[in-house]
Amino acid sequence: MNYITGFTDEQMAGQRLMIGFDGTELNRDLKYYIGTLKVGGIILFSGNIRDVPQLKNLCRSAQSYAGDCGQPPLFIAIDQEGGQVARLKEPFTVFRGNPFMTAKADARYFAEITATVLNQVGINMNMAPVLDIAPKEINSIMAGRSFGHDPGHVSLLGTEVIMGLQQNGILSVAKHFPGIGRTTVDSHHDMPSLDVTPEDLETSDLLPFQAAIACDVAGIMLSHIHYPGFDQKWPASLSPAIARKLLRRRLGFDGLVITDDLDMGAIKKHYSIHSAVRQILKADIDIALICHKSPDIPAAFEEILQQTGKSELMADRGEKAVKRILRAKERLEC
């Protein structure tokens, strides 16, 4: 269905938001986000999940409400990497995590079982796999979540996860571009700076993402790391140099580009939601991710609405972003 024909400005703005919420059912807040702010997606955390019947009902009722509001299907996303980061615990299938995968068969098995579980409850997007490379010689922040230190191995297992998820109806979002494995500071708390040359990243960290693009990954999540070798001012998640010039133009990625959570300290301690959103729009990033209920969600909606109405250039960029979003949603209908 071609939803973009006849979309209101509010719908165009809302599609570019993915939000978290409190509660385990279709409550007043979630109805407001879907019906009034017209959000394009929601992301689930452990606090939204009790058991299989409840989760299935939550996803089904959210999608039904979006349809009743004249909205396209929602992205319903989750971080289900296995191991350290897995929102679905018992009684759902539990895996030990990426560091314990050693062969293609391990990665494909994880992806296929995970896709089966997500499909059963109505989740259609997994914020996985992690494609960060964790060097052996440092205490990498990603050591417990990475496939390892070798770019070839990370690429091999990462693409198996992508293909296993997507061939079974789950959109895969690879993360955290252009690579955070060389950092030791947690961006949940503050913004790390990684002063490496473009050549360093090209021969190592970027390789798994290039492999992901080659196997048609649906989305790529940007890190909140500052890479002064690429952009002296902005972290990757707000950087036109990284999102537009490197990822879109140079690597040729025309899928979904998503920020990491804008509630994280790396962003929250340094930028207002208004300045962050303005940068996101300038950088040709499709979706702003805000994972917790706060006034930042309606503020981000209003900022997107205002900025995309300012000029033909911004309106054109906004239309291209929404077309990419809807193209990804069409994959879910196939």
Residue among 238, 287, 270 nearest 13 (CA): 287
SS3 304: helix
Q: What whole-number distance in Å separates Cα of residue 286 and Cα of residue 251? A: 17
Detail the DSSP E strand segments found in 84-168: 85-86, 125-126
Q: What angle do CA 48, 334, 58 make, to 5 degrees?
A: 15
Single out the catalytic residue among 188, 270, 274, 292. 188
Query: Which residue in 79, 260, 261, 284 is the catalytic one?
Result: 260
With beta carbons less than 8 A apart as the criterion, state whether 225 and 140 touch.
Answer: no
Sign of CA dihedral 153, 157, 162, 167: positive
- Please say if 189 is a catalytic residue: no
Instruction: Calculate the alpha carbon distances from 56 to 13, 77, 124, 195, 235 in Å.
Output: 28, 13, 12, 44, 37
- To the query of whether residue 226 is one of the catalytic residues in this protein, the response is no
Active site (catalytic) residues: 188, 260
